[in-house]
Amino acid sequence: MAKLLVAGVSVLSIGITGCTPVLEEQAERGTLLSQAESTITSRRAIADVQALVELGPRVTGTPVMEQARAYLIEQYTRAGYETKTQTFTYPKFEDLGSNITVNGRTINGRALNGSIAGKQSARLVAVPNVGQASDFAAVDVKGAIALVRRGEIPFLQKAQNAANAGAVGVVIINNESSDLYGTLGGEVQIPVLALSGKVGNSLFESQQSQVSLAVNTRQRTVTGTNVIAHLPGVTQPRVIVGGHYDSVPGSPGANDNASGTAVVLDIARNMAQTTLARQAWFVAFDGEEDGLHGSRYFVSQAQPSFLEGLDAMLNFDMVGVNDQLLVGGTQSLTKLTQATQSDISIFGSQGGSDHAPFARAGVPVLFFYRGQEPNYHTPNDKSVEPRLLDETSQVGFNVLKQILNSDTVSVAM
């Protein structure tokens, strides 16, 4: 694969020395890449995806991310760009495995996001209704573990009512048979475990007396790093082209989102041959999977005038699987995209990604995406279709040409 990459680069560099003005002219007229050029494009984008996937899951704050970063920096540098990194930190909550043991049988649950860690062996008391303060008045939970049903009032209030009544732990039962992934949303001095309706309801009915609760959580500070690439001296771009390069734990993140990372890099390589490159910044965002931390930080650090100077932010996330290319975002830009390429569907916003913080800051945005797929956030997200990377890259480049060649961009939502 290294060979393929080297070969691709050398072929392209021969092409560049021979015909830079032609490429520039083509770009400015908005013509498609020729067949030969598009083959090179596709081979390099798939090589980028493979290089990132081979590193293993790209979890923010891990050494793999340093390798992914080194790879991206090398590629952007080779394409003629300057790179800088932007580092940020955020607190990350982790459940390392939490459960309740009844009669020697361990039942797995999920710690509520934000719960303190704790181990307690105590009486189990089933609290009537949904755990209002008045419900706790009807039972004695002092020194006990309170078993409460989900619903009507926030988790935080149930847990606080339990703590106020003297309980040493709380177990919340989902109101559906499935697992419960919830967030506490505030501070409580006792550990809080969530159980699926399936196991929780049978526990509620079983009237067990003695149980052991184990909530095994930790909160740590994670450091993320965005990679920003632009031509030397470009301090005020008109467009930002970006995508996240982190993935969820356990997933190699080929489609989510080595695909978008590779497409952004591919657009950068193709644009480097044109004068349009002086209008763009390219960003690989980190910390997306933990809550859009990289893009939020980028926006928070940008001067208001920098953001006002942007005509568009283009985000590419999950663009290597599924034939249908979808685009979401600011109406004027989704319309412009459809005018450029009529077979693209417009979709309403679903799921969060890195364009969202820019949209909230008033920047017109476009979100390129190919829809859900079975391998999303699983260990099987390990391959993408080269043809789809290529198509996305060309559409993205064409849209950028349109945006950059129009003097005024309407920002109507």
Question: Backbone phi, then psi, for 144, in 5-degree steps?
Answer: -115, 175
CB of 246 to ligand BES, least distance (A): 8
Q: Report in angstroms how near the CB of residue 350 gets to ligand BES at its nearest.
A: 5
Out of 120, 257, 393, 394, point to the residue binding Zn ion (CB under 5 A).
257
> Which one, 131 or 253, has the nearer CB to Zn ion?
253
Phi and psi at residue 225, to the nearest 5°:
-140, 120
**Considering the complex, what minimum distance in angstroms separates the CB of residue 356 from ligand BES?**
8
Bridge-based pairing state of the strands 312-316 and 239-244: parallel
Residue 353 Cβ vs ligand BES, minimum distance, rounded to whole Å:
4
- List the structure tokens of 396: 């993205």
Is 70 exposed, middle or buried (CB count within 10 Å of its CB: 0-12, 13-18, 19+)? exposed
How many other C-beta atoms are found inside a 10 Å radius of the C-beta of residue 230? 22
The helix, strand and coil proportions of the chain, stated in percent and rounded to the nearest 5, come to: 40, 25, 35
Under the binding rule (CB under 5 A), the answer on residue 317 touching Zn ion is yes
If you search the block for the tokens 């390099």, which residue do you land on?
Answer: 44
Inter-residue contact 243 to 257 (CB < 8 Å): yes
Tell me how far, at minimum, the Cβ of 61 lies from ligand BES, in Å: 15
What is d(CA 148, CA 166) in angstroms, rounded to the nearest whole number?
A: 14
Decide whether 282 or 369 has the Cβ nearer to ligand BES: 369
Q: Are 258 and 48 in contact (CB under 8 A)?
A: yes
Tokens linked to 112: 């509520």
Q: What is the DSSP letter of 119?
A: E
Closest CA to 338 of 325, 348, 356: 325
Query: In degrees, to the nearest 5, what angle opens at C-alpha 255 toward C-alphas 382 and 40?
Result: 95
Return residues touching ligand BES (CB under 6 A). 256-257, 288-289, 291-292, 317-318, 350-353, 369
- Closest CB to ligand BES among residues 81, 358: 358
Binder of Zn ion out of 256, 290, 354, 381 (CB under 5 A): 256
Pick 175 or 383: Cβ nearer Zn ion: 383
Binding partner selected for residue 351 from Zn ion, ligand BES, none, CB under the kind-specific 5 to 8 Å limit: ligand BES
From Zn ion, ligand BES, none, interface partner of 292 (C-beta below 5 to 8 A by class): ligand BES
Residue 350's binding partner out of ligand BES, Zn ion, none, with CB under 5 to 8 Å set by partner kind: ligand BES
Residues 285/296, Cβ–Cβ less than 8 Å = no
Size of the site for Zn ion (CB under 5 A): 3
| CB 137 to ligand BES: min, Å | 39
Residues 6-45 that bind Zn ion (CB under 5 A): none
Only one of the segments 53-61, 169-177, 256-264, 296-304 lies at the binding site for Zn ion (rule: CB under 5 A); that segment is: 256-264
Kindly indicate which of the ranges 44-52, 233-241, 257-265, 278-286 contains the residues binding Zn ion, using the contact rule CB under 5 A: 257-265
Q: Could you give the C-alpha distances from 1 to 7, 8, 53, 55, 274, in angstroms and in order? A: 10, 11, 13, 14, 28
User: Of the listed pieces 65-73, 235-243, 315-323, 358-366, which binds Zn ion according to CB under 5 A?
Assistant: 315-323
CB closer to ligand BES out of 271 and 361: 361
Q: Are residues 395 and 370 in contact, defined by beta-carbon separation less than 8 angstroms?
A: no
The β-bridge relationship of strands 118-126 and 210-215 is: antiparallel
The region of 30-38, 222-230, 254-262, 296-304 touching Zn ion under the rule CB under 5 A is 254-262
Phi and psi torsions of 264, nearest 5°: -60, -45
**Min. distance of Cβ 337 from ligand BES in angstroms?**
17
Nearer to ligand BES, 257 or 279 (CB): 257
| Smallest separation, CB 256 to Zn ion (Å) | 4
Between 59 and 79, name the residue whose CB sits nearer to ligand BES.
Answer: 59
Report the chain's terminal Cα–Cα distance, integer Å: 44
Nearer to Zn ion, 238 or 355 (CB): 355
The minimum distance between CB 400 and ligand BES, in angstroms, equals 21
**Residue 240 identity (one-letter amino acid):** I
Residue placing its CB nearer to ligand BES in the complex, 306 or 347:
347
Q: Which residues bind to Zn ion, rule: CB under 5 A? A: 256-257, 317
